[in-house]
Chain A
Amino acid sequence: MSAVASHADVLHHDDHGHHKETFISKYVFSMDHKMISKQFLITGIIMGTIGMLMSLVFRLQLAYPNTTFPIFETLLGEWGKGGKLDPNFYLALITIHGTIMVFFVLTAGLSGTFSNLLIPLQVGARDMASPFLNMLSYWFFFTSSCVMIASLFVQGGPASAGWTIYPPLSALPKAIPGSGTGMTLWLVSMILFIVSSLLGGINYVATVLNMRTKGMKMTRLPLTIWAFTFTAILGILSFPVLFGGSLLLVFDRSFGTSFYLNEIPADLAGGIERVGGSPILFQHLFWFLGHPEVYIILLPALGITSEVIATNSRKPIFGYRAMIGSIMAIALLSFVVWGHHMFITGMNPFLGSVFMLGTLIIAVPSAIKTFNYLGTLWKGNLRLNPQMMFAIGLVSFFISGGLTGIFLGNAALDINLHDTYFVVAHFHLVMGSAAIFGMLCGIYHWYPKMFGRTMNESLGQIHFWMTIVSAYCVFFPMHFMGLAGVPRRYYAFTAYDQFNVFVDMNIFITYAAFLGGIAQFIFLFNFFYSMRKGKKAVQNPWESNTLEWTTPVKHLHGNWPGEIPHVYRWPYDYSVPGHEIDFIPQNTPHEGQEDPLTEPQTIPTPERKVAPTLAKEEAVLFTLVKRWLGFA
């Protein structure tokens, strides 16, 4: 039966190729995964730019709480009266900044772009399993983005309860200005977003499982694909829970229920007294998505990094199977640690220790990944092009941000650190900066595949150095502010004497933030300029092994002009001893290999004396485990 279906599918794609494509079907309602990927990327970049500009506005406020900026009045009108930022709008800005960055840029923008582009190309498929649902996924995302942006312009301003939209601020339309229409639009936007993410995720997983070309065993998949697949699985299993949580929130807001509300008098809550609910329920439902979400953001970036680091070190990735194992471990563990965001909500302390244990265990697979990156770089023949620089930058952030996670994961320490700038520093380094670096790394690396040209390298280097310097200067000092107790989400710290010592630091941070902002405009220029004027790309500009570089530079519907290539080896055959060129693409057979499924070159096991105490079977098992972990 499946043979019938997939045969019909090939036919379907073939006769599609001869269709006349109109502008609309090619650029707007396209069902081609490569075009959809570009749509996700461009939308993500636009949202990212908006989110970044917002951060510059509130950085100015934090650095100069007592100064007036006439530009605020010009830009923001009502919200910047007399050149002073409205305190309510400050909260709105940080909320929408967080929402945009977390969901629109680093979830949809990152996964949407690279899963769409790379899954069919790297597993050897003509398109996604269902191109139609794929198109829908983009349009749900687009509508969701429009609703989120529209919420900026409604009465009362956009949602202001933080990106985590905790009740009661989010549940009582009268709580703060942003709790009204703005919050409603936020929820509408998020529900559209969840639909988009599910349509996309289901498609990605089905494609990877079902549509791999002959010879593309799971253990020959590039690590990008492993990462994207588990990202999709995380999304498929955790977004529905946010959906359920939001549904109940909608009922609390508009239909008089009290799931998340307790002891709220009737005149504050639309004429109905609210009793019996608990905001903690929302926090559980939110963080059941929220924590996997941070890995939905990070895993694709890590996958991209694996690919780029191996290619540009001209070395096989160190510990391929250990990398897969750690992706799986992270994915699994990320479902059982959400409580570390709730240590101080009054949760049962015993439960707190359970969540603490789980959280700290995540450090193990994270460390495996880090060491494997370093192991791959070690003595590599490094090509320090922009994508490689960004990949190394990611590793750096993963370490510096991951270490503070160990602090925060300790329930006792978190009593002090929760809701301070320490948390802001932690997640901006490990999630914000690391994932943005992964995304930029991917853009530089696959730009030739997407647009047929390469981006300017010198501008790329300038972009990298300015960005990494700025990121560390912005986020590193925040650790110290957090340790001193400076709380997050405050409009002006000058209200408290003890925080006045940080005024200078805040000014420094703001300067650094502007440096980063300028760097991103250099990137934007490079990105759009290279689309028309960049150097024409050759088919395989980075001398990489993966299948996407076997497709022609000019995009075809169906990806490969003739038959889909078969795969004969894993993707990391770089610098194979005794081989002239230092890379061997996956579709090159081994000498004498006819069946793609056979593995002719058995890894030679060195002659080793088996210790007499170790039974033979055990020794074999031990070698197998070692080899499986990638150490043989």
Chain B
Amino acid sequence: MANTATLTTDSKQTWGGGKSPFSVSYGKLMMWIFLLSDAFTFSSLLVAYGFVRFTFTSTLPNTIVKPFAHLSHSFVEDMNKAGLFVTERWPSPELVFNHFPFLHGIHLPLMFVSLMTFILIASSVTMVLAVEAGHRMAKKEVEKYMILTIIGGAAFLGCQAWEWTNFITEGASLSGNPFGPTAFAALFFIVTGFHGTHVLSGVILNIVIYINVVKGTYDKRGHYEMVEKVGLYWHFVDLVWVFVFTFFYLI
């Protein structure tokens, strides 16, 4: 078998030692492994969500409130009477998360969270641009895109704070929920809170890296790998949000 010979030499060079088989530094490799592990943490929480969710009757589709309709002051009670917000039934997220800052009293299902999601994804785009600029050693551009990423992250956190405040003022807490099962609110706070903590640490990391970029640390070091590493983390947090979003808001 002639082709085995070529195969073995090839794999020898990759895995033969003396170099990284994936041609990455150990730091980046460790970041990958950490993210893999963190993915399991989030999975455990989302699996718990699924487990709890399936013990409740499934959501009734909303046929009552139309988008942009005016919300009455007794909205929650009305929904309760209509059988949409009852303790044995998982509520429809579009009826729970239907507010928008400064547009009080209008039914805007999932508009705000879509905006949040857009902001976070946009910040991932700017992060990609920062990493790319780092490859070209373009310090000024890295600075610009890092600062945009930081702003995006902070804006997301701000939105989340608003959403939480709104939810809490409407009566939701870890042990109470006017919209239906308590577990809905508890899981919402824990999972989005855990994700938010990740975003917060990401923003802090980004700020640290930004300061180093400005100080020229990476210019002197000859590469911008640190930007790449926080970039990996940032994209991961973003990816997790896509799952959190899907679980809590869409299904």
Q: Tell me the A residues contacting B by CB distance below 8 Å.
A: 1-6, 123-124, 129-130, 133, 198, 201-203, 205-207, 209-218, 220, 236-241, 243-245, 247-248, 251, 255-259, 272, 275-278, 281, 284-285, 288, 566-567, 596-599, 617, 620
Contacts and interface: CB of A to CB of B under 8 A. Distances in A.
Nearest to A288: B44
Given A257-B174, A276-B52, A276-B181, A217 B26 contact: no
A281 B183 contact: no
22 contacts: A6-B25, A6-B26, A129-B30, A198-B34, A202-B34, A209-B22, A210-B21, A212-B18, A213-B17, A214-B18, A216-B18, A217-B16, A236-B36, A257-B182, A257-B186, A258-B186, A276-B55, A276-B181, A276-B183, A277-B52, A284-B47, A567-B17
B222 A4 contact: yes
A259 B48 contact: yes
Nearest to B29: A206
B10 to A, nearest CB: 11
Contact of B174 (A207, A209, A251): A251
Given A217-B17, A256-B175, A237 B36 contact: yes
A247 B45 contact: yes
Contacts of B186: 251, 257-259
Contacts of B21: 209-210
B170 interface: no
B48 A248 contact: yes
By secondary structure, the A interface counts as helix
Contacts of B47: 284-285
Contact of A236 (B12, B19, B22, B33): B33
B40 A241 contact: yes
A206 B44 contact: no
A99 to B, nearest CB: 20
Nearest to B225: A1
Interface in B21-70: 21-27, 29-30, 33-34, 36-38, 40-45, 47-48, 51-52, 55-56
B20 interface: yes
B1 A620 contact: yes
Contact of B26 (A129, A258, A567, A596): A129
B144 interface: no
A214 B13 CA distance: 10
B20 A215 contact: no
A4 B194 CA distance: 36
Nearest to A203: B30
A435 to B, nearest CB: 23
Contact of A212 (B8, B17, B182): B17
Given A210-B20, A217-B15, A240 B41 contact: yes
B204 interface: no
A358 to B, nearest CB: 18
B26 A255 contact: no
A259 B29 contact: no
B63 to A, nearest CB: 27
B191 to A, nearest CB: 10
Nearest to B181: A276
A207 B27 CA distance: 10
